[in-house]
Amino acid sequence: MAELPPAPFYACDQASGRVSSQALVRYKTNDYSVPVVYGHRDVRLRGYVDKVAIGRGGDLIARHPRSYEREDVVFDPVRYPPLIEQKINAFDQAAPLLDCGLPPEFETLRRQMEARIRKAGRREFIQVLRLLEAFGLDDLHAAVKTALRMGAVSFDAVKHLVLCQVERRPPKPDLDLYLCLYLPRADVGTTSAASYMCLVSEDAR
């Protein structure tokens, strides 16, 4: 009986490719996303029956379900927030995030953040999405729902809540700090006697 080969045998088609400026690499007729840090670098691809694995050196950097369409683009939305964070105005045109299948509470969170602190709110929402780099979608979704229910709509609050979700401990957000930082302040002037006299004067009747 023959000895086993010294290197493992991969039952797949192997190819090489180069990552584009959009963090995509082509295999057959389709493009697959990789982490943005690998832009303009050479990578190796393994095309299996059901998946495409992308590696560089000895590391696996991306894996996607294989598409048998033509000119298809397969994104992993989690990889794009670091790039969009640098070009925040391109958020609404970011193809990987337009239809990424996030629960509707994420869009509600975004709208409330932008309504309260405008452009800074959009940046905070991107930071919330970046939490997917460290936490699972289910845990982050639970934290977002809790933040909306509590009215604590900020990145710091969501991060605190997702940590509590993972560690299974009750949340204790600092709402006093949140009120100071994120709610608009109302300037109330001191009423003068002269203003009151204007109200009771003959001209005001």
**In this structure, which long-range contacts are made by residues 111-114, counting pairs with CB atoms below 8 Å and at least 24 apart in sequence?**
112/148, 112/153, 113/153, 113/154
10-residue mean pLDDT profile of the chain (205 residues): values are: 80 94 91 90 96 94 94 80 69 62 87 84 87 88 92 89 87 58 58 69 58
Token couple for 196: 């009151």
Is there a contact between 74 and 62 (Cβ–Cβ < 8 Å)?
Answer: no
The whole-angstrom separation of Cα 25 and Cα 31 is 5
The C-alpha atoms of residue 108 and residue 85 are separated, in whole angstroms, by 19
Question: What pLDDT is stored for residue 181 in this prediction?
Answer: 46
* Distances from the Cα of 34 to the Cα of 45, 126, 167, angstroms: 11, 19, 30
Would you put residue 67 in left (φ > 0), alpha (ψ -120 to 50) or beta? beta
Q: How many CB atoms lie under 10 A from the CB of residue 198? A: 11
- Predicted local distance difference test score (pLDDT) of residue 168: 85
pTM here? 0.59
Q: What tokens were used for 3?
A: 């000895």
pLDDT of residue 31: 94
pLDDT for res 133: 82
pLDDT for the residue numbered 187: 63
